[in-house]
Amino acid sequence: MKVTYPHMGTINIVLNALLRELNLEIVPPPPTSKKTLELGTAHGPEFACLPLKITLGNFLEALEQGAEILIMAGGCGPCRFGYYAQVQREILTDLGHNSTMLILEPPQTGWIDFLGKLRWLLGGLPVRAFQRGWTLGMAKARAIDCVEEELERTRPVEALHGVGNAEFNRFLNQLDQATTLAETAKLTKTYQSLLRQLQEGRRASIKVGVVGEIYTVLEPFSNQDLLQRLGALGVEVQRKLRLSHWISEHLTLNSRKRRQFRQEITALAKPYLQYFVGGHGLESVAHSIQLCQEGASGIIQVAPLTCMPEIVAETVLPQVSKDIGKPILTLFVDEQTAPAGLQTRLEAFLDLLPLNDISQHSS
Amino acid sequence: MPIIGVPRALLYYEFFPLWNGFFTSLGWEVVTSEPTTKGTIDQGVSMAVDETCFPIKVFYGHFLELCHRCDFIFLPRLVSIEPRAYICPKFMGLPDLVRGLTTQPILEPVVNLHSNKDYWRQLWGAAQLTGAKMGIKSNFRIGQALLCGLKEQQKHYQSLNNIVSPENTSTQKPRGRIGVIGHPYTIYDPAVNMNLLRFLENAGYQVVTPYNFPNQLLTAIANELPKELFWTYGRKVIGAARLWYQRKLVDGIIDLVTFGCGTDSVTGEIIERLVRRESNLPFLLLTVDEHTGEAGFYTRLEAFIDMIQFKAAIAGGDV
């Protein structure tokens, strides 16, 4: 049986690690491209948010390649993401695809359902196989996050633009092939030091925090390579939203740790936003404060157009910006977003940053 | 006697009887903002962030108009009004959205009935908090006021349900019946929906909305979907649409959505596909926002009504 999944940044490496342990044949969707987006936009609901359209495009392209089982995550609201899979299944049915959609709802919403699907995925293999795949997948996710953090420090200061990125891509390719934890750890070390060499001891003078909706932060296609663009403009990107955080936050069963994490976020956002609003709305507010405290000169919020939680965050962020004295730029992306407009806005925002810092110091 | 202000927007259109009953029973005066006008909308649009949905923009207009005329603004944080469902993320952050716009104190009890277990404890907590904020400590008085409010709300629901019940389909059929689905604040605000209900009535049709049917019935039908919906109004609109076409209660369905509504973008898509797949009812998706013009809007409606009449004529053998 050929399984596939949607892209979200580098999540394919994590999923490959897991699914290979389960002896499943993987048909990864072709890398997200303009064609993916066109397919998704043509068949998806007009006013739905961008991730729904892109992931729908991923599925359609994977089906063309012969995929039979589509793996998708679920959720329990209030963000629309929890109902994506349902809408996508209806759309695929109407288009005449009789593929099966395997929707993994978070275990918190229903254990029996979750375990049942797990068992189906295992298909006779011992649970240990899943455990092994999971451990390797999570190790890879953490490895990616470590190296990517180094990459974000390298991009603004590397002598030749693009070298760091090329190294990172090579790292991803090798990591995807790695089959053991030791190999993963070794690759991480190698590439971390390689990237550090590229930095030659320099550090970017401007740091900008990136917050917002997780998909548009992690998937470079959806945000027009925002992080890379910022790097090329000489900015060190700082962010709390990373792949391994997202996975463990969603699937961790350690409720004490979960609660502790939530409490910290809630306390920081409290003066501006006193209740969770689904998605990463609360995080956007809390992380903006956190990142500025840690030395960022400004914040960029990125989210898909009509994203409900991020609109709430966007509304309260001007007050946050006033109180912490740092500018915040909100970027909504959709299928109409063009690179030139984005570049212009980024450049204007970055031009303002040093001025803002000077006026902060003098006053 | 201090005055409580209730903006005539969003869930005012569903829960005003409850709120009004509660406050007047405690001896407080309740004022609402004036019905929506072009001015309300313009003011709301100028203050709200560009990307937000139309109903929130209208809400801003009402809020700004009202906040000078009262001592407290009542803006409950409606997280959830029934088990296992939310309303919308924006309702969960509503008081935070407008906190910076006024110096007037905001009464913002949290209403979170998401869990079946502590439904009544939560509801009571919200009522108690509201009373305490206004200096009423007597649990007896608050309890009495809550009961009074709930009774008013029940009366309101009954009056809505009386218009038509699904069992009693024999109510006189003028020329036919059109079902309009949407959120209460789009369906019952004529300035937002370009007087849609009146237009349909003038064209000789009886109009039914999801709010004319008992909630349990709609929820039960909506829950037949493979996955339970986690939005209260999503359940109502999907439940209503399915009920109408399954039992052939209407001659056509209009899905009235507002621009930028997140939940409708998902539920609307599912409804449209279900209606097309499982029935042959005429279906019209109407999106309204601050730019909607009368001409384009009514032309589409007229075409829709023509379609219903053609279908009726063909079925009646007149053509």
B247: domain CATH number? 3.40.50.11890
Domain final position from B93, B127, B160: B160
pLDDT of A124: 81
Does residue B26 surpass a pLDDT of 70? Answer: yes
Cβ atoms within 10 Å of A237's Cβ, excluding its own = 25
Nearest residue of B to residue A95 by CA position? B273
Same domain, B151 and B185: no
Q: What is the pLDDT along chain A (363 residues), one digit of tens a residue?
A: 899 999 999 999 999 999 999 989 999 999 999 999 999 999 999 999 999 999 999 999 999 999 999 999 888 878 999 999 999 999 999 999 988 899 988 776 677 888 888 888 888 888 888 889 999 999 999 999 999 999 999 999 999 999 999 999 999 999 999 999 999 999 999 999 999 999 999 999 899 999 999 999 999 999 999 999 999 999 999 999 999 888 877 776 667 777 888 899 999 999 999 999 988 999 999 999 999 999 999 999 999 999 999 999 999 999 999 999 999 999 999 999 999 999 999 999 999 887 777 776 665
Chain A contact for B269 (CB, 8 A cutoff): yes
Same domain, B150 and B54: yes
- CATH code of the domain in which B70 resides: 3.40.50
pLDDT of B67: 87
Mean pLDDT confidence for B229-256:
95
* β-pair type (B252-258, B177-181): parallel
Same domain, B226 and B137: no
Does residue B165 surpass a pLDDT of 50? Answer: no
pLDDT of A362: 62
Same domain, B130 and B108: yes
**Structure ipTM:** 0.91
pLDDT of B173: 54
pLDDT of A67: 94
Residue-wise pLDDT for B268-297, tens only, equals: 999 999 999 999 999 999 999 988 888 899
Query: Containing domain of residue B223, as a range?
Result: 167-315
Same domain, B141 and B189: no
Encoded tokens for A287: 């992380």
Mean pLDDT confidence for B48-75:
93
Instruction: Provide the number of CB pairs (under 8 Å) joining chain A to chain B.
Output: 119
H helices of A279-307, in order, are 281-293
Indicate the residue type of A197.
Q
Q: Which helix (H) or strand (E) holds A102?
A: strand A100-104
List CB contacts of B109: < 8 A, sequence separation 6 or more.
B76, B77, B125, B126, B127, B129, B130, B133
Number of folded domains that form chain B: 2
Same domain, B196 and B291: yes
Same domain, B48 and B178: no
Domain final position from B99, B129, B160: B160
Residues of chain A found within 8 Å of residue B269, distances taken between Cβ atoms: 44-45, 48, 87, 90-91
Asked whether the beta carbons of residue A45 and residue B266 sit closer than 8 angstroms, the reply is: yes
Residues of chain B found within 8 Å of residue A306, distances taken between Cβ atoms: 51, 53, 260, 262, 265
Does residue B172 surpass a pLDDT of 80? Answer: no
Same domain, B174 and B114: no
Arithmetic mean of pLDDT over chain A: 92
Same domain, B152 and B278: no
Residue-wise pLDDT for A196-237, tens only, equals: 999 999 999 899 999 999 999 999 999 999 999 999 999 999
Identify from B110, B265, B288 which residue to disrupt to test chain A contact, counting A C-beta atoms within 10 A and taking the largest count: B265
Does residue B92 surpass a pLDDT of 60? Answer: yes
Least confident of A32-46, A268-282, B153-167, B195-209: B153-167
Residues of chain A found within 8 Å of residue B183, distances taken between Cβ atoms: none
Same domain, B120 and B85: yes
Arithmetic mean of pLDDT over chain B: 91
Same domain, B43 and B131: yes
Domain final position from B126, B145, B160: B160
pLDDT of A210: 97
Same domain, B300 and B182: yes
Chain A contact for B190 (CB, 8 A cutoff): no
**pTM for this one?**
0.93
Encoded tokens for B65: 């108009």
Mean pLDDT confidence for B9-14:
94
Q: What is the CA radius of gyration of chain B?
A: 20
Closest C-alpha among B2, B6, B134 to residue B65: B6
Asked whether the beta carbons of residue A308 and residue B89 sit closer than 8 angstroms, the reply is: yes
Nearest residue of A to residue B225 by CA position? A86
B162: burial class by Cβ within 10 Å (0-12, 13-18, 19+)?
exposed
pLDDT of A136: 95
pLDDT of B167: 46
Q: Which helix (H) or strand (E) holds A348?
A: helix A339-362
